[in-house]
Structure 1
Amino acid sequence: MPSERATQTTPFAAMDVLERASERDGVVHMEVGEPDFRPPAAATEAAVAALRAGDDDYASSRGIQSLRDAISDYYDDTYGVDVPAERIIVTPGSSPALLLAMLATVDPGEDVVLTDPHYACYPNFVRQADGNVVTAPLDPEDGFEPNVEAFADVVDDDTAAMLLNSPANPTGAVTSGDKLEALVELGADTDTTILSDEVYHGLAFDAEEHSVLEYTDDAFVLDGVSKRYGMTGWRLGWAVCPPEYVDAVNRMTQNVFICAAPFVQAGAEAAIREGTDWLADVREEYRERRDLLVDAAERWGFDVGYTPEGAYYLLLDVSDLPGDAFDVADVFLEDAGVAMTPGPDFGSGAEDYLRASFATSTEDVREAIERIDALLAEATTT
């Protein structure tokens, strides 16, 4: 029989929708955060060169030194913070980095505070560590930014960790520096470790991004190249660990993952060092897509009252349509050929919403808007 931990692990609705949508022809895929851009050419060239050079053996579980140096330089160049390479553990994707951080900080029965809404998989990471999920609500009138008072209401001396995410999935909210600093102070006051998922950094449009590392060394940062550089299938991430956790996380990496592929690490290093101009152009295309979708949401009556400042997601309020969010997602897929993810997968605070990803092409965003325009027009005349 499957373990209780396995039984309690819930499906990922976005992937379920993707599976159904992939069985149909001509679907516009807005259900997953899959960038349509090819990675920076330098990344592909470096990975191919590494493979041709035979760089396909085991690497250090901590990660290749030159990549860790590049990551360290990135934090210095971007945020002006000194992150020694010794604190960086390279992992096969940012999800493994989060799992390691969770296992390193949470003992069975301890609380982990998430925002609500939150990334759909976060509760399952807490469950893998046998922790308890506690949530702090977000308000669309605040642009879904974390509310420090809401965190203070649920964080206490028995809380093991707070999991933050900015720019955020599914809301696109960017947390201000003042709020990050206040949450760091709350963590210090209650001896609560902060886990900061920063995998969408580099994809902010109208707000200044801040890393939690600007305010403390005693936090985990989880990041990677998947979202920023369109390298989702490369599976390359990292954890910046508080100094006292580095050896423990490395031991778990040795046992659970062994190492990230060295030729992938070569590609990631090239992306980090040479992808700045590439990213600037990509970010502007995302901004255009966001604006198209925000305008459409207002026209449809789905406007939540905010504009996402980062990442590539928008929550649509479909509470005025017949049925629940799952029903609406089914209609959009079956009748319009547009795939979106039902909001309840992201927490009770998103139960009236659909999450639309504008990581797909600008042409596809326009096509999806036209299809939903036609669907809603037909509904009002029948």
Structure 2
Amino acid sequence: MEVLEKAGKLDDVVHLEVGEPDFEPPAIAREVASESAAHGEVSYTNARGKESLREAISDYYERQYGVEVPLNRIFVTPGSSPALLAVMLDVVDPGSEVVLTDPHYAPYPNFVRQAEGETTTVELDPETGFEPQIADFEAAVGPETAGLLINSPANPTGAVLSPESVEALVDLAERTGTRLISDEIYHGLDFDAEAHSVLEYTDDAFVLDGVSKRYGMTGWRLGWIIAPPDEEQAINRLVQNFLICAPNHVQDAAEAAIREGAGLDSIRDTYRERRDLLLEAARDWGLDMGYTPAGAYYLLLDVSSLPGDAFEVADRILEATGVAMTPGPDFGTQAENTLRASFATSTADIEEAIERLDAYFESH
């Protein structure tokens, strides 16, 4: 966000710092939102979300993963971030721990701290494609561990967990009495490996998702929680008290996107092409970390050979080239000497960024 703020003060900036899809939301979603608001669908809804939307979400899980999710376990929220906060307030007691990967999505530890918990991290290695080693998770889970938070496809690495890894993590959580929390917001944006939901292996887990990423609806703020059967009432109380409900007409738009939005094949193909452009350029610059993102729309660049820390490198590149990228330290110690580049922006912008950075690294 600081990089975005700095970039906003400059002219002619190429934005690779934020995960903002450049694809338009489905036309049907925009039409339904307008019609819904015009017809007066602007009041409070049930805190769980409109039943028709929860039916659409349930149908999506059966269609996509072959699993049945009862409507009473689905809670619609104003974005997936409030969903994660509600889950942390439910799972985490003061002083208990949540195990995260390293690298991880930067705000994750803040959600844990807000619930007065602590974090323990499991380091991931680019040489294994940031795929977790189950033995490391076994070692990290202890008596104070309340939750295990995973994210696949992952931000900031773009790594996709194999089905064997998902199943092993489910088994670990069940054996240790640890609550598994799966952030699946980038599902549907998997282009070199198939992303599997934890719901294919267990009901005893929290799943977070929403329409932001795969439908290009970031600013619409519509997410959801799928709660384990025994946590339904607790999540219902938290949502009622703290979130009230998601916007009424946006719920209608989200239902339309889920039911009738166009397929993602062409979008995935475009992201793959953009990734390959950026990955080839990273190799030319000597910043390649030796892995290929299989999903989401991020690539970590190794800037350890450049003078200064990642914050200084990001500032220097922004000022000299107008290319904005995110410093890696907030993603964890394993990303400390990296910049995160997003290829969610247009292909033309990525090509422009590569051209500018080619000239910058050649002259430096």
Q: What is the aligned partner in structure 1 of residue 282 from structure 2?
A: 297
Q: What is the aligned partner in structure 1 of residue 355 from structure 2?
A: 370
Q: Which of 270, 275, 292 pairs up with 2:261?
A: 275
Q: What is the aligned partner in structure 1 of residue 128 from structure 2?
A: 142
Give the TM-score, by structure 2 length: 0.99
Q: What is the aligned partner in structure 2 of residue 286 from structure 1?
A: 271
- Tell me the distance in 1 between the aligned counterparts of 2:20 and 2:88: 25
- Residue 324 of structure 1 deviates from its aligned partner by 1.2
Letter in 1 for 2:29: A
Is 2:176 the partner of 1:176?
A: no
Contact 2:96/2:145 (<8 A) preserved: yes
- Residue 142 of structure 1 deviates from its aligned partner by 0.9
Q: Deviations over 1:232-290 (max 9, x none)?
A: 0000000000011111111111111110011000010011111242x222111111110
Letter in 2 for 1:265: Q
Is 2:89 the partner of 1:103?
A: yes
Contact 1:157/1:192 (<8 A) preserved: no
Q: What is the aligned partner in structure 1 of residue 37 from structure 2?
A: 51
- Tell me the distance in 2 between the aligned counterparts of 1:276 and 1:320: 43
Q: What secondary structure does 1:223 align onto?
A: strand
Contact 1:105/1:193 (<8 A) preserved: yes
Q: Which of 58, 71, 78 pairs up with 1:92?
A: 78
Contact 1:226/1:232 (<8 A) preserved: yes
Is 2:313 the partner of 1:354?
A: no
- Tell me the distance in 2 between the aligned counterparts of 1:183 and 1:158: 18
- Tell me the distance in 1 between the aligned counterparts of 2:223 and 2:276: 29
Q: Which of 308, 319, 326 pairs up with 1:323?
A: 308
Q: What secondary structure does 2:284 align onto?
A: helix
Q: What is the aligned partner in structure 1 of residue 99 from structure 2?
A: 113
- Aligned Cα root-mean-square deviation (Å): 0.7
Q: What secondary structure does 2:312 align onto?
A: helix
Q: Which of 140, 144, 147 pairs up with 1:154?
A: 140
**Structure 1 unmatched runs, 5+:** 1-14
- Residue 156 of structure 1 deviates from its aligned partner by 2.1
- Tell me the distance in 1 between the aligned counterparts of 2:52 and 2:69: 14
**Structure 2 unmatched runs, 5+:** none
Is 2:192 the partner of 1:200?
A: no
After TM superposition, list the pairs within 5 Å mapping 1:247-258 onto structure 2.
247-258=233-244
After TM superposition, list the pairs within 5 Å mapping 1:213-252 onto structure 2.
213-252=199-238
Q: What secondary structure does 2:158 align onto?
A: coil
- Tell me the distance in 2 between the aligned counterparts of 1:222 and 1:142: 26
Q: What secondary structure does 1:200 align onto?
A: coil
**What is the number of equivalent residue pairs in this alignment?**
364
Is 2:14 the partner of 1:28?
A: yes
- Tell me the distance in 2 between the aligned counterparts of 1:302 and 1:48: 45
Q: What secondary structure does 1:355 align onto?
A: strand
Contact 2:26/2:262 (<8 A) preserved: no
Contact 2:83/2:208 (<8 A) preserved: yes
Contact 1:112/1:131 (<8 A) preserved: yes
- Residue 158 of structure 1 deviates from its aligned partner by 2.4
- Tell me the distance in 1 between the aligned counterparts of 2:8 and 2:211: 25
Moved over 3 A (4+): none
Is 2:113 the partner of 1:127?
A: yes
- Tell me the distance in 2 between the aligned counterparts of 1:283 and 1:183: 27
Q: What is the aligned partner in structure 2 of residue 308 from structure 1?
A: 293
- Tell me the distance in 2 between the aligned counterparts of 1:153 and 1:35: 37
Letter in 2 for 1:22: G
- Residue 157 of structure 1 deviates from its aligned partner by 3.3
Contact 1:319/1:353 (<8 A) preserved: yes
